[in-house]
Structure 1
Amino acid sequence: MEAVTMAKAINLSLRDALTHDENVLIFGEDVGALGGVFRITDGLQKAFGEERVFDTPLAESSIIGIAVGLALRGFKPVPEIQFDGFIYPAFEQIVSHVAKYRNRSGVPLPITIRVPFGGHIGAVEHHSESPEAYFAHTAGLKVVTPSTPADAYALLQAAIDDPDPVIFFEPKARYYLKEEIDTAARVAIGKARVAHEGSGVTVIAYGPTVSIALQAAKTAAAEQISLEVIDLRSL
């Protein structure tokens, strides 16, 4: 396939999920007619209709509460939290309900919460946060973040197919990185990858920090230091 940006890879992954499973629903602030502030959901409402791709009020707690109800009714909701710094009003819903329903009831809760995160885009503080640690340390949640367009496509497919709740953190600084992707490839949640082979030092990174680690590997090589870079993918 031709090279696409990470933003486009996520859009394609969402489009394919909507196409292949009628229970997939996408909703959040401005995800419908506008296509999201980063245009990640661009064209999806037009293609699949307002019942499957729809806008919500500016109320993050309600967005996640709606997702819980839909998941319990057999749907596969994919809510978007518009910015990382907006996730805190939904914290109680995510930690007290989304994370606990699966173990409390034994009922699958296939929710994929999409969250653009991180800095390096010149935005204000509540558009440039990294709240992933809160959720990675919460039992009952799976937390993933891609560093490449290929992983963005495949990890999102894995998240939507997973019977457990997954928070999918999207590194905003990497949205416009381009590479070829294979839409048939799959990535298992919980499986890291070796982004750069080396034997002297191992650097473990994830999301937007992988590119920094890869640059460090090049710098180290000039000093005759062999640096391995591991991309966690799952936190």
Structure 2
Amino acid sequence: MLMFKEKCTSRDSAFHEAIEKVFEMIEGAYEWDLDSFDNIYPIERREISLTNEEGEHVGRVMIEIYPFDEEGEYIVEAYLMDGNISPLHLVYTAREAEELWGLGQNTVVKWIERGKLRINECRKSKGTWLVTHKGMERVTGRSLIKKEEDKVNAIFVTNGAYDAVVTRYGQWIMITDKKIFEDFLDAEDNGDDFSNWEQHDWVEDDIWEEAKRLGDIVAYYEDEELHIVDEDKWEQRLEFYSLS
């Protein structure tokens, strides 16, 4: 499970800041040991084991660091391999949840207002909506899992100027023809084959990050099953393409 993904100013500070955050998040963590280190350019990957004050194993985490841009900034990602995350870190503001799950702004608040999130999955604290990790998993139908394990076939996004489909093969297609949207609807049958259409290479290195770069995520196919993320926008796009 993805624990966090953050931007750092240097490769050295990225690891130290990640360790500090891991200790904040893992219940009982007191010391850490390096289990493995791999340098698979441009990614540095470390696996660490965590123990409590009694020396008992309480968790294992993988930390990846890779360049973000040419300005010298880096991205650090941490993935929980085993152990328990403190309940304090399994609650997010609505905006945090939207960023983690790649949703458009105010999507989570709309879900809360419509009752999609249950009463025990959200609450308002001094004007700010808070939501639980399990609630977000239930409503979106997906976990924050490591990208290599992701089984997403294609993601449909819109940005007010155009619609696009991002495919798992490192390309995205601007929807210039109703037939492209129909191909997305048929992804369950066609195996996400968009080879008939002009394609553009990803700028980001992850399908979710690329989708967020292009616009608001509206729907996606995972294991050939369609998941609707934003029902209002989905209905609008169906109507636009005369498919409602």
Find the structure with the greater CA-based Rg: 2
TM-score, structure 2 normalization: 0.27
TM-score, structure 1 normalization: 0.28
Higher relative contact order, chain-length normalized (CA < 8 Å, sep 6+): 1
**Higher percent of residues as helix:** 1
